[in-house]
Amino acid sequence: MSSDPSPGGGTPRPATPPSLLDPCATPLSAVPPQQEREPQDPHEKTRPIPWLAALAFLLLFAVGALYVALDTQPGASIHGDRRSSADLSPAVTAGAGGAALAPAQGAALFANQCAACHQAQGQGLSGVFPPLAGSEWVLGPPQVLAAILTYGISGSLQVKGQTYQGAMPAFGHLKDEELLALATHLRSSWGNQAAPFSMADIQAARALQRKQPFAGGAELEQLPR
Ligand code: HEC
């Protein structure tokens, strides 16, 4: 096939390669020239973790395992939580019936339920909230303390020589074990040292089956002790 478009003479145009004019001339398998100029498509290779990184990871793991294994005071929890395993294991003061809670739970209950009024160290707020530290009601007969916690007080109450005229909410909705843990905490914290409390004291208070809080100290004095 001859391809000279200028019959009138002049400089002849360079001949176009036949492959570009006639698509049928190019075999299908050949790569078109436009594509040959493109950079190669990226593709993923298998890349193992660099051995240095793997070594560093193994080293960190070994140091951590050694640190835990060589801990000389496993019970003392020196690395964070300050409660010892003795605090978290059930108390030995379990009375008749019902499992006792750990001492730490008595402290936690106090912090959640009572500290807002009676203050963190049980020192109370002069004239408003009576102290629990050194209080004759906390250190006195266990059944009376159990009754106070279960039903609350509303009326005039003498504590350590001061008269209070407030309202102590009832905590009868707490479980027996929780009341026991609480009372045990009150009687053994902030310098308080009273005879241990037992589940029987809680049950005696429950047996009163009151609907209202005690009308002040006068009514509390009449409780069986
Ligand atoms: C809303 C505030 C408030 C909360 C919460 C509270 N109390 Fe009281 N509590 C009082 C007041 C006020 C009195 C004094 C009542 C009165 O004047 O009749 C009192 C009295 C007492 C008493 C007898 C008096 C004394 O100081 O020993 C005890 C024991 C006691 N509370 C223990 C507790 C315990 C335990 C808790 C938590 C479970 C608690 N209270 C939660 C306000 C509170």
The pLDDT of residue 86 is above 70: no
Tens of pLDDT, residue by residue over 117-157, are 999 999 999 889 999 999 999 999 999 999 999 999 998 99
Question: What pLDDT, on the 0 to 100 scale, is given for residue 71?
Answer: 74
- Please write the tens of the pLDDT for every residue from 9-47: 445 565 655 555 555 555 556 777 777 788 888 777 777
Which residues line ligand 1 at a C-beta cut-off of 6 Å? 113-114, 116-118, 129-132, 135, 137-138, 145, 148-149, 153-155, 157, 159, 164-169, 171, 182, 186, 216
Higher-pLDDT residue of 93 and 62 is: 62
Using the mean position of ligand 1's atoms as its centre, give its distance from the Cα of residue 123 in Å.
Answer: 11
Backbone angles phi, psi at 51, to 5 degrees: -60, -25
Which domains are seen in the chain, by residue range? 100-220 (1.10.760.10)
pLDDT digits (tens, 9 = 90+) for 164-177: 999 999 999 999 99
Q: Is the pLDDT of residue 75 over 80?
A: no
Q: Which residues pair with 125 in a beta bridge?
A: 129
Cα three-residue angle 195-197-198, rounded to 5 degrees: 135
Q: What does the pLDDT average to over 179-185?
A: 93
